[in-house]
């Protein structure tokens, strides 16, 4: 056996670890990594010297350097000769002598590499790395001076691995969520899975017994639990001879990360005692146990433990000591109980990082703004007009160049228009909180009129004008809409019915349970519908004779599993699409859309294709439109005598002819009446796809290529060589093609007029592009007129730590004109508001605010918006909206149609349930939805793929000036790679704590803004449970005014189940996480306050208090709630501080929050955009005094009508 000394190790490893491009066989060219010089100037992008990987395309543009004497979550191993420790630190691997000292880097660069393990002969080091684009297992062969890839997976995690004692095999834990044990041979091969059942058993932290007969591991059921009850893990072992698994612990505090001594006598493992973690020593001969060290590193049993439940430990070769990391240090623990000895280290850390993405987004005071979104756009039968809604008002325009004009003068929601077959009339649905819902008909021409068709107020959705002057609609009690407090409505007792186009009585067709998208073809006897799982079906007018024609699916997203995000946005299999009131709905729950759904923790992703949410048969012919995720396809529907399953994920290889129409994305697909053109919208863009023209161009391109080939001299010579018959055949084919093209021109006038089509005959690379048009509807921004002086208040400006005692703020229209000591401002005729004794801060900014009003059919009043504004939240950023409805709601707030905070969002998350990215170009197209059409400024990169995919996203975001934020995913390793890649935002708490200076300093220097959402803390109980059990929100008068009865009582009256409950005070983790946020802010880093939509309004203050609970000063807590949040969103030039020229967003408090941060909830007034509101009622005080109507969401309490007292 080769003795592995420290100098030999450094020489060997320094020569073998390479970040160069892969070479055949899964190996890399050897090249030294240790010594490199990196420019201090991060703007000199080409000057950085860094190791490169072909599967990690992101080019580092920055470098963070520091000397570390402590580290976060250090996994380590001891060499077989006992002289060297290998350990990981911030994604690189280092070595030190067993006594400690200066650390030498083995690996550097942007790849994230962890969990080193020496081979039994000391000649190899096993480690995990994402250098090939995804987390995989590698080893360094120091003899051959090579680096070898063991596993070659494109998705999933590798929490850890271990050698067998003979060094021939490697046991690795790997998988997406439910990791299993696999065995690989050191010389290659595909390996074998050791444990399969139960399928829900997660097995990590493998270690092989010295005799090679068993592999020990940590195991649990499912991947994780929120608000978890203990125990979560136990230790088990797998017998190599019998193939059986045996559990060997039963501790309440769990048991995990077993570590075995070399002599086979001892096992050390981790366990929780009360709220802290310790190490237990077991004598494997007698079974006796004792505590070896307590407390140590906090375990990861309440997250997904991507690097093991505890950092990897190792015994020394003599089995007398175990080397472990805790408290940020490395320690030598004696089995005999002698005092622990620190093994000091000093590492010069150089971290290669991606670009800093910070863009300043100006908030303009323009009087008119272009509507961000058109909805429900539908062409007239002849395609010459387009009906749609903008800001929930119905418009019609001559398409494409006409001016959009309103159809009615209604001041309530209008939606879902449908043309009459002759194009002279429109039917549409409405919603008014006072009058409920109705169907209306608009007639055009000389006798144009608006007619209400319905006498019964109800919930009407998806009206479609059918043949024989009948209108089909989904109908439900208006109570369904009135009781909808969030995005979804109940479809209980809803029906599909029809009404005469002239009005009158409804006739029921059928119950509307899980059917949608009613439409018609030339067959007037049948109504076509969509059913569960991407099904196209039809029924007769009496609801009988159901026929199914096809089940249509599309791409297989990167990560899906039964239980994942069920709904049209988040499909996992053919049964995932659900319809309510005729419309596809996703899971209307921010917890399940923003956080990993706990229901999916018990199984591995199944990788099922997404099913179509909308399928529309063409009015004529055998084609159907299919919307799958956010793309639109045309697919041929055969008459096969049975129901075919058609997948169009790769249209060119579909069972039947199909094509993808959209390149960037699209919503609300619709046919023109002739079945030759398709319309769809995205933001305020609208497209028309001419199928005939597209097919013609494709055929012409093929012909051009054929003709070029025939004209090629070599081809002609080849033909002549084959004989005169071959030449004649080629000539006849060319003439036939020319004749076919000419006949097409004669048959279609549009084709004949298109110069591009003429040219296409001669072009080999001509590509059809659908006609795109921006639909321009402008609205007046709600900017108040007037001047107001807030006088004699304490002003916490957030300009550094400035506090003006007895100060004035002069506001003109919507901006701050001046700030100064009382009496020093020239107020003129301003209205004076006496604020003596009160404290004024900038308006609060919620950087993680889920505010989801009703989807599809929109309401005119939004309690969620009102609640947040009343509690001082004047700006919000929703980092996952699930749908695009927010675009319209946000416009309505800007137009003054709905009172609320500034509504920013990422739009629907760029998520694993919707995409499977294949290239940087495709990723750029995905992000164009947000940068060009949704105009969100931000995106949420939601676990969209492996490291390579995530790097494509940050590269595309930089190119399009988008600021992406990320999902934490209970995954420390993921969090660190997103940090290194340059993502400017991180959502949710980093589950590991404490975070030491290595992580904190890197986050601070990177300017990644961390919004910890402690109300739903990762790694322990949610903080909201603490507040629900220590506060009295149920009886808060203000909260009751702004929160619907059902909403508040369902959250605050009883707390049970997986997302609620009571926890011992010391078991809560939010204060520990908050300590890290405090240190981050102290070091100049960015943080935000994000309430996660847990309790609208008051929940923001709970979150702010939680952020402050880790020792943060009140001034820093207020900065986090204001100026730091503004900077995190790129809005700090207009928001976040009280300074001249900034927008007038202010919170006025009765008591001083500098004295007690909980005084933030003593709000007397709120100023948003220069408007002054009463903080208790949200009645506007200035400039237009008016009372807020809350009747649409409040319920009248029952009157006491009996004599009963109990």
Give 656-694 as a DSSP string: S-EEE--SS--EEEEE-TTSSEEEEEETTEEEEEEHHHH
Residues 6+ apart with CB under 8 A from 349: 64, 65, 66, 67, 68, 89, 90, 92, 998
C-alpha span between 844 and 1103 (Å, rounded):
12
Q: Residue 478: exposed, middle, or buried by beta-carbon count in 10 A (0-12, 13-18, 19+)?
A: middle
Strand-pair category, 368-370 with 685-690: unpaired
Please provide residue 975's backbone torsions phi and psi, each rounded to the nearest 5 degrees.
Answer: -60, -40
CA 1096 → CA 66, 284, 849, 967, distances in Å?
Answer: 41, 54, 9, 21
Confidence at residue 1059, expressed as pLDDT on a 0 to 100 scale:
72
1094 contacts 1024 by C-beta, under 8 angstroms? yes
3-class state of residue 413 by DSSP: strand
The residues with which 877 forms a beta bridge, in sequence order, are 904
C-alpha closest to that of 1178 among 1193, 1189, 1162: 1189
| 8-state DSSP, 8 | H
C-alpha closest to that of 170 among 206, 200, 132: 206
Residues 6+ apart with CB under 8 A from 701: 760, 763, 764, 765, 766, 767
Homologous superfamily in CATH for domain 6-353: TolB, C-terminal domain (2.120.10.30)
Confidence at residue 586, expressed as pLDDT on a 0 to 100 scale:
65
Q: Where are the beta strands (DSSP E) in 1084-1153?
A: 1086-1087, 1146-1149
3-state secondary structure string across 184-199: EECCEEEEEECCCCCC
CATH pick for 787-905+968-1182 out of 3.30.1560, 3.10.530, 2.40.128, 3.20.20: 3.20.20
Angle at 597 between CA 594 and CA 601, to 5 degrees: 145
For residue 389 the two structure tokens come to 């809604």
Please provide residue 208's backbone torsions phi and psi, each rounded to the nearest 5 degrees.
Answer: -95, 140
Query: In which residue ranges of the chain is pLDDT below 50?
Result: 1-46, 561-575, 588, 753-762
917 contacts 944 by C-beta, under 8 angstroms? yes
597 contacts 563 by C-beta, under 8 angstroms? yes
**Cα torsion angle, 643, 649, 654, 657, sign:** positive
Angle at 246 between CA 244 and CA 250, to 5 degrees: 165
- Residue 532: CA atoms inside 13 Å, Cβ hemisphere, count? 10
Q: Which residue has the tokens 């004779």?
A: 545
3-state helix, strand, coil in the chain (%, to 5): 20, 35, 50
| 8-state DSSP, 245 | E
Q: Where are the beta strands (DSSP E) in 209-261?
A: 214-221, 234-239, 245-247, 256-260
Strand-pair category, 101-102 with 345-353: parallel
List, edge to edge, every strand of the sheet that includes 495-500: 459-465, 470-476, 495-500, 507-511
Angle at 967 between CA 361 and CA 955, to 5 degrees: 55
C-alpha span between 424 and 159 (Å, rounded):
65
Q: Is 890 left (phi over 0), alpha (psi -120 to 50) or beta?
A: alpha
Residues 6+ apart with CB under 8 A from 944: 558, 910, 911, 912, 915, 917, 950, 953
CATH class of 368-684: mainly beta
Return the exposure string of 130-145: e unless at least 16 CB atoms fall within 10 Å of the residue's CB, then b. Answer: bbbbbbbbbbbbbeee
- Identical fold, 6-353 and 368-684: yes
For residue 481 the two structure tokens come to 């809409």
C-alpha span between 373 and 150 (Å, rounded):
49
Confidence at residue 52, expressed as pLDDT on a 0 to 100 scale:
87
Most distant pair of Cα atoms in the chain: their distance: 109
C-alpha span between 801 and 1119 (Å, rounded):
9
| 8-state DSSP, 598 | G
CA 579 → CA 494, 517, 713, 717, distances in Å?
Answer: 11, 9, 60, 62
- Residue 806: CA atoms inside 13 Å, Cβ hemisphere, count? 3
Residues in the chain: 1206
794 contacts 1179 by C-beta, under 8 angstroms? no
- Residue 785: CA atoms inside 13 Å, Cβ hemisphere, count? 1
Residues 6+ apart with CB under 8 A from 85: 76, 77, 78, 79, 95, 96, 97, 98, 323, 330, 343
182 contacts 228 by C-beta, under 8 angstroms? no
pTM, 2 dp: 0.92
Confidence at residue 1151, expressed as pLDDT on a 0 to 100 scale:
99
For residue 29 the two structure tokens come to 């060219």
C-alpha span between 324 and 482 (Å, rounded):
59
C-alpha span between 703 and 1069 (Å, rounded):
68
- Residue 177: CA atoms inside 13 Å, Cβ hemisphere, count? 28
C-alpha closest to that of 614 among 654, 661, 656, 664: 661
Confidence at residue 732, expressed as pLDDT on a 0 to 100 scale:
65
**Cα torsion angle, 481, 485, 488, 490, sign:** negative
- Could you tell me the residue ranges of all domains in the chain? 6-353, 368-684, 693-769, 787-905+968-1182
Confidence at residue 1031, expressed as pLDDT on a 0 to 100 scale:
96
The residues with which 844 forms a beta bridge, in sequence order, are 873
C-alpha span between 1041 and 1039 (Å, rounded):
5
C-alpha span between 1036 and 461 (Å, rounded):
36
For residue 1121 the two structure tokens come to 């709630």
């Amino acid at each position: 056996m080769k003795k592995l000394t420290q100098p030999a190790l450094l020489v060997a490893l320094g020569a073998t670890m390479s970040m160069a491009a892969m070479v055949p066989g899964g190996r890399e060219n050897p090249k030294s990594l240790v010594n490199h010089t990196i420019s201090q100037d991060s703007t000199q992008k080409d000057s950085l010297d860094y190791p490169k990987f072909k599967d990690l395309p992101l080019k580092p543009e920055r470098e963070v350097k520091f000397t570390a004497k402590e580290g976060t979550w250090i996994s380590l191993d001891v060499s077989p000769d006992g002289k060297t420790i290998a350990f990981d630190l911030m994604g690189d691997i280092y070595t030190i002598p067993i006594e400690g000292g200066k650390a030498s880097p083995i690996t550097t660069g942007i790849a994230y590499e962890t969990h080193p393990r020496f081979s039994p002969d000391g000649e190899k080091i096993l480690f995990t790395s994402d250098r090939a684009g995804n987390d995989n297992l590698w080893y360094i062969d120091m003899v051959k001076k090579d680096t070898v890839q063991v596993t070659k997976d494109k998705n999933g995690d590798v929490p850890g691995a271990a050698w067998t004692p003979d060094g021939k095999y490697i046991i690795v834990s790997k998988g997406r969520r439910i990791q299993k044990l696999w065995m690989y041979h050191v010389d290659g091969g595909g390996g074998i899975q050791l444990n399969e059942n139960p399928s829900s058993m997660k097995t990590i932290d493998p270690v092989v017994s010295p005799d090679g007969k068993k592999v020990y591991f940590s195991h649990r059921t499912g991947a994780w639990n929120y608000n978890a009850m203990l125990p979560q893990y136990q230790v088990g072992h797998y017998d190599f001879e019998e193939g059986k698994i045996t559990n060997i612990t039963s501790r309440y505090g769990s048991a995990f990360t077993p570590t075995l001594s070399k002599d086979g006598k001892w096992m050390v493992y981790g366990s929780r005692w009360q709220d802290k973690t310790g190490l237990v020593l077991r004598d494997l001969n007698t079974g006796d146990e004792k505590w070896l060290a307590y407390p140590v590193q906090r375990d990861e049993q309440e997250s997904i433990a991507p690097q093991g439940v505890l950092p990897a430990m190792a015994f020394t070769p003599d089995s007398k000591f175990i080397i472990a990391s805790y408290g940020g240090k490395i320690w030598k623990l004696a089995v005999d109980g002698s005092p622990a000895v620190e093994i000091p280290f000093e590492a010069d850390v150089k971290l290669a990082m991606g670009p800093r993405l910070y863009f300043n987004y100006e908030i303009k005071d323009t009087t008119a703004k272009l509507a961000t979104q058109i909805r429900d756009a539908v062409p007239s039968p002849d395609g010459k007009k387009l009906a749609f809604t903008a800001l929930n008002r119905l418009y019609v325009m001559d398409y494409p160049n006409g001016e959009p004009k309103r159809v009615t003068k209604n001041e309530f929601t209008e939606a879902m228009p449908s043309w009459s077959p002759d194009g002279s009339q429109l039917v549409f649905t409405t919603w008014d909180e006072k009058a409920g819902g109705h169907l209306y008909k608009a007639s055009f021409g000389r006798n144009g009129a608006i007619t209400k068709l319905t006498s019964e107020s109800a919930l009407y959705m998806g009206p479609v004008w059918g043949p024989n002057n009948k209108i089909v609609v989904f109908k439900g009690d208006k109570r369904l809409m009135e009781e909808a407090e969030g995005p979804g409505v109940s479809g209980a007792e809803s029906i599909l019915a029809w009404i005469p186009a002239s009005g009158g009585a409804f006739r029921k067709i059928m119950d509307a349970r899980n059917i949608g998208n009613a439409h018609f073809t030339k067959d007037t006897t049948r109504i076509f519908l969509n059913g569960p799982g991407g099904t196209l079906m039809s029924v007769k007018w009496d609801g009988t004779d159901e026929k199914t024609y096809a089940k249509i699916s599309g791409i297989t997203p990167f990560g899906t599993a039964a239980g994942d995000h069920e709904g049209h946005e988040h499909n996992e299999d053919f049964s995932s699409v659900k319809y309510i009131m005729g419309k596809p709905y996703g899971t209307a729950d921010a917890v399940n859309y923003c956080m990993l759904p706990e229901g999916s923790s018990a199984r591995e992703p199944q990788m099922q294709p997404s099913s179509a949410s909308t399928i529309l048969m063409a009015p004529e012919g055998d084609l159907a439109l299919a919307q799958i995720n956010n793309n639109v396809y045309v697919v041929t529907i055969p008459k096969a005598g049975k129901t075919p399953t058609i997948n169009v994920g790769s249209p060119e290889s579909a069972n039947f002819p199909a094509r993808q129409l959209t390149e960037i994305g699209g919503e609300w697909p619709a046919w023109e009446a002739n079945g030759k053109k398709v319309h769809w919208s995205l933001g305020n863009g609208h497209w028309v796809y001419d199928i005939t023209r597209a097919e013609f161009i494709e055929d012409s391109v093929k012909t051009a290529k054929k003709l070029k080939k025939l004209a090629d001299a070599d081809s002609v010579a080849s033909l002549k060589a084959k004989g005169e018959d071959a030449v004649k055949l080629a000539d006849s084919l060319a003439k036939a093609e020319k004749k076919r093209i000419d006949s097409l021109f004669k048959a279609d006038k549009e084709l004949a007029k298109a110069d591009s089509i003429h040219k296409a005959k001669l072009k080999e690379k001509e590509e059809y592009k659908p006609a795109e048009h921006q639909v321009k509807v402008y609205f007046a921004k709600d900017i108040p007129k007037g001047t107001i002086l807030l006088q004699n208040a304490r002003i916490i400006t957030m300009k550094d730590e400035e506090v003006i005692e007895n100060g004035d703020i002069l506001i003109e229209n919507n901006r701050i004109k001046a700030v100064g000591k009382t009496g020093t401002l020239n107020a003129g005729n301003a209205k004076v508001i006496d604020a003596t004794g009160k404290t004024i801060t900038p308006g609060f900014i919620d950087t993680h605010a889920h505010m989801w009003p009703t989807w599809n059919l929109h309401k005119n009043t939004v309690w969620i918006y009102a609640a947040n504004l009343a509690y001082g939240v004047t700006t919000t950023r929703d980092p996952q909206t699930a749908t695009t409805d927010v675009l319209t709601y946000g416009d309505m707030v800007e137009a003054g149609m709905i009172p609320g905070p500034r509504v920013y969002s990422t739009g629907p998350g760029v998520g694993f349930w919707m995409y499977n990215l294949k290239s940087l170009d495709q990723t750029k197209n995905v992000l164009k939805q947000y940068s060009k059409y949704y105009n969100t400024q931000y995106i949420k990169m939601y676990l969209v793929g492996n490291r390579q995919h995530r790097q494509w996203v940050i590269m595309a975001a930089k190119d399009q000036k988008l600021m992406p934020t990320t999902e934490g995913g209970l995954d420390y390793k993921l969090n660190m790679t997103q940090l290194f890649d340059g993502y400017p935002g991180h959502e949710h708490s980093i589950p590991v704590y404490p975070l030491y200076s290595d992580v904190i300093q890197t986050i601070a220097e990177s300017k990644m803004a961390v919004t910890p959402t402690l109300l739903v803390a990762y790694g322990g109980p949610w903080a909201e449970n603490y507040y629900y059990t220590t506060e009295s929100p149920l009886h808060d008068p203000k909260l009751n005014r702004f929160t619907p009865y059902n909403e508040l009582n369902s959250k605050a009256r009883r707390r049970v189940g997986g997302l609620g409950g009571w926890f011992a005070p010391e078991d809560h983790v939010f204060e520990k996480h908050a300590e890290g946020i405090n240190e981050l802010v102290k070091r100049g880093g960015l943080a935000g306050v994000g309430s996660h939509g847990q309790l609208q309004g008051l929940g923001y203050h709970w979150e702010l208090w939680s952020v402050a609970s880790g020792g943060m000063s009140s001034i820093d807590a207020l900065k986090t709630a204001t100026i730091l949040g503004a900077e995190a969103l790129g809005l700090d030039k207009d928001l976040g501080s009280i300074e001249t020229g900034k927008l007038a967003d202010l919170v006025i408090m009765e008591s001083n929050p500098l004295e007690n941060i909980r005084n933030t909830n003593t709000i007397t007034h709120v100023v948003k955009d220069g408007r002054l509101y009463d903080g208790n009622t949200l009645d506007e005080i200035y400039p237009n005094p008016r009372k807020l109507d809350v009747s649409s969401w409040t319920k009248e309490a029952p009157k006491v009508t009996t004599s009963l007292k109990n």
